[in-house]
Amino acid sequence: MIIDGKKYYILNTDETSYIFRITDTEHLEHLYYGKKIRVSDSLDGLMERQEFIPGNNNSYNHEYPYFTLNNLCLEASFEGKGDNREAFAVIENPDGSRTSDFLFKSAIIDNEKKELRSLPSAHSLRAEARKTSGNHLQIELEDKNNKLRLLLDYYVFDRENVITRTSTLINDGKTAVTIKQLMSAQLDMHESGYIMSTFNGAWAREMSRKDIPLISGKHINSSYTGTSSNSANPFFMLSTPTTTEDTGIAYGFNLFYSGNHAEIAEVNEFGKTRLLWGINPRNFSWRLGAGEVFESPEAVMTFSDKGFNGMSVGLHNFVRRHVIRGEWARKVRPVLLNSWEASYFDINESKLLRLAKAGKDVGIELFVMDDGWFGKRDNDTSSLGDWKPNLEKLPGGVKGIADKVNKLGMSFGIWVEPEMVNVDSDLYRSHPDWALQIPDRPHSEGRNQRIMDLTRTEVQDYIIDSMSEVFRSANISYVKWDMNRTLTDIYSSYLAGVGNDIAEDSKTYNRQGELTHRYMLGLYRCMKILTETFPHILFEGCAAGGNRFDLGILSYFPQIWGSDDTDAMVRAEIQTGYSYGYPQNCWGSHVSGVPNHQTLRVTPLSTRFAVAAFGSLGYECNLCDMSKDELDLIAEQIKMYKKFRKILQYGQLYRGRSFTGVTSQPGINHGLAVGGFSASGSVLTRSDNNVTEWTIVAPDKTKAVGMIAQKMVIPNMAYQYFRPVGLDEDKYYHIYNKEIKVNIKEFGDLVNTASPIHIRPDSVTQRVVSKFVKLDGEKEDLKMFGSAMMNAGIKLSPAYAGTGFNDKTRVFSDYAARVYYIEEINI
């Protein structure tokens, strides 16, 4: 709901308020963003009063000699009029000056959620809200001197406690201007001392939370790779040092953008904090001609006074309801088997069908043929761009193998990488100018490939046409869309004006600063057309794992491959990172073989499943090489997953203790240990960040699924508890785990203390006995009220501690995990 006070505006969600006013000088002064409050029309106590200018500051003009912009919280700031902080917009005028003075002109309140013309954006405000109150505010600012207008659009999503913002610059003049910086949103706050949390990393170790105290100076979280990047996700948070998962204030921010972005936090000399987020201004420029319009990506912000979990609830609901589109927005995702780690490029129809048949036998629903099926693709040096099936590997083409997989009773999926081209390809030999590269200079390649120039319409059309041909060639139900390198040698012959419609412009203006943004516009056009043409296909985004995990991609693809690293311990931390800003069904998570292909770590199959089940579950291992015991366990896992699938995919995920060091205890969440796998410290001392806890709760809170994972065994420490989150305090629940059987191999030669015959480790005898003798593990079978579980915790069966074992002992080794099922029962 939006309240128009004529000289002020209040944007209320169900639990938050956002307030700003129009000053006497016609600037927009930001007053408040936080927990929902009630204010008087006079705004007494909310406005800063300026009687004298602070020393070494500048007055705005002679009419207001005691008014300075440098010590004011603003909705949008600009260069040249006394505000020395980072600017919301930097515009180079025709005379070379960069001073802008945008002042209030008009405001409109309505219920329309406008789609951006060329960028993805949130959709579908709640129908009942549209009938009763305004949920969209557009503020029009004008720079009369330079004949420019700036539209600031605010959209209120009541139930989700989310506000989104966009900015649109319009050139009403007769000459072009150059945009050097135009952010999507600005939030000025009256205090400093907040903690800025960003999610950083690299390939195979995405989304590691890093906490920075905002005391003074400027901090920037940004990408400059042509992607939203694994090194700096566009999602970030603001909190206080005492905020926990369940208590305290937490702000969350995000951006509908998949390219170069920047999140800037600055504390000025007066202790005020400014946040800006949007397109990364580094080497960005955009020539805005007379009558032209430039749109910024849509920005997202939320607030909660219920800790990080409270913040995540709003963001998860927002993504589910207002970001993901189409048939798969509420449709359960199939359990898939991907061929990549089972065979890499060494595929053919018979191998793939054997793997698919093994998958069918354990309950897999979707078989995915990964890289290696097209052109002469025997390794990563050739054939990208030549999207024709290799008939030596697939005699019947894609249709032939898809039909055979369908006859097994499974759906069929395929891997593509449409944005890339190998020099060793027919496409590159025909159209070398379709690749991003600087002519006559050596090129720095990644994974032996180059990037298609998506600033060109003909390249976009080629991608759309070639992918459409592939998708129509067979009964394809799933597509994994990959992107395995970042931008280098950033140059487009098209933008240089070589034989195109901007040739004359390019002789006068250097347009290369537009390349990375134009690339994103081209990519979004391809994705929009293809997803609308093939609405039945489940698309999964991928960029060498999580190198492009953002709201822009999720606007077209309902899920994204979270990381190329499938190690359960690493994935537990990565998925915890994602969970702060994204719901769990947005990330693909697979059970892989051991030793893990990325870390060589060996983790139990039960742990690999426990972590992967808290996402869109898949398997990425060679089932043909697995033992009967392993296949039986996988079949049990999939059966249990299907029983609780709707909750696991569409329930609300809550975090408890975490490997990353965040706890529910005030005041200890922002230490130097946050964000690393080794943060647990000693294996001799119990530590909360030696475990990770997740709970996913059904919307009606009648059912839940919980998970606890452990890094390392602490000796002589039998006691452990699991504390679920998000349950109904007054409901009475049954908590149980599935039957556990312990392989005698886990005890090594210790088994001889109980065995009537000597069993040598790794002997034939041990292998034979282990096939027929399984020890009973612990059985949790408890009944508790929700309030007891969430506050006192569930005391688990005692773990093995070196002094004895029976069927009530929990064998919980290094890298172990358990899944617990919680269902409401009558008292």
Query: Any idea which residues carry the catalytic annotation?
Result: 482, 564
What is the C-alpha separation between 213 and 239, in angstroms, rounded?
A: 10
If phi over 0 gives left and psi between -120 and 50 gives alpha, with beta otherwise, what is residue 333?
A: beta
Burial class for 190, CB neighbours closer than 10 Å (0-12, 13-18, 19+): middle
Is 741:606 a contact under the CB 8 Å cutoff?
Answer: no
How far from 372 is each of 315, 352, 416, 640, 786, CA to CA, in Å?
Answer: 38, 12, 10, 33, 51
- For 141-179, b where at least 16 C-beta lie within 10 A, e where not — what string? bbbeebbbbbbbbbbbbbebbbbbbbbbbbbebeebbbb
The answer to whether 179 touches 294, Cβ cutoff 8 Å, is yes
Burial class (CB in 10 A: 0-12, 13-18, 19+), 69: buried
Tokens 């005699």, located at residue: 395
Q: What is the DSSP letter of 64?
A: B
Q: What whole-number distance in Å separates Cα of residue 35 and Cα of residue 710? A: 36
| Local structure of 264: helix, strand or coil | strand
Q: What is the number of other CB atoms lying within 10 angstroms of the CB of residue 754? A: 10
CB within 8 Å of 735: residues ≥ 6 apart: 780, 781, 782, 783, 784, 789, 794, 820, 821, 822
Which secondary structure element, helix H or strand E, spans residue 637, and what is its range? Answer: helix 628-643
**Which residue, among 4, 5, 2, has the nearest Cα to 17 in the 3D structure?**
2
If we measure between CA atoms, which residue out of 593, 817, 567, 563 comes closest to residue 677? 567
CB distance 305 to 245 below 8 Å = no
| Strand runs labelled E in 296-441 | 299-304, 336-338, 366-369, 411-416, 420-421
User: How many residues are present in the chain?
Assistant: 827
Long-range contacts of 543-546 (CB under 8 A, 24+ apart): 543/227, 543/230, 543/482, 543/483, 543/484, 544/203, 544/230, 544/482, 544/483, 544/484, 544/485, 545/203, 545/204, 545/206, 545/230, 546/201, 546/206, 546/207, 546/230, 546/233, 546/574, 546/578
Place of tokens 């128009």: 4
What is the 8-class DSSP label of residue 512? Answer: G
435-442 own/partner pairs: CB under 8 Å, 24+ apart: 436/487, 436/489, 436/490, 436/491, 436/492, 436/515, 436/519, 437/489, 437/491, 438/489, 438/491, 439/491, 439/493, 441/489
Tokens of 359: 């998958």
* CA-atom Rg of the chain in angstroms: 28
Indicate the SS3 state at residue 275.
strand
Which two tokens mark 405? Answer: 């997989």
For residue 344, report the phi and psi dihedrals to the nearest 5 degrees: 50, -130
Six token digits for residue 583: 């719901």
Q: How many CA atoms lie within 13 A of 702 on its CB side?
A: 5
Alpha-carbon distance 476 to 533, whole Å? 13
Query: What is the distance between the alpha carbons of residues 33 and 406, in angstroms, rounded to a whole number?
Result: 53
d(CA 249, CA 543): 33
Dump strand ranges (E) for 771-816: 774-776, 781-785, 794-795
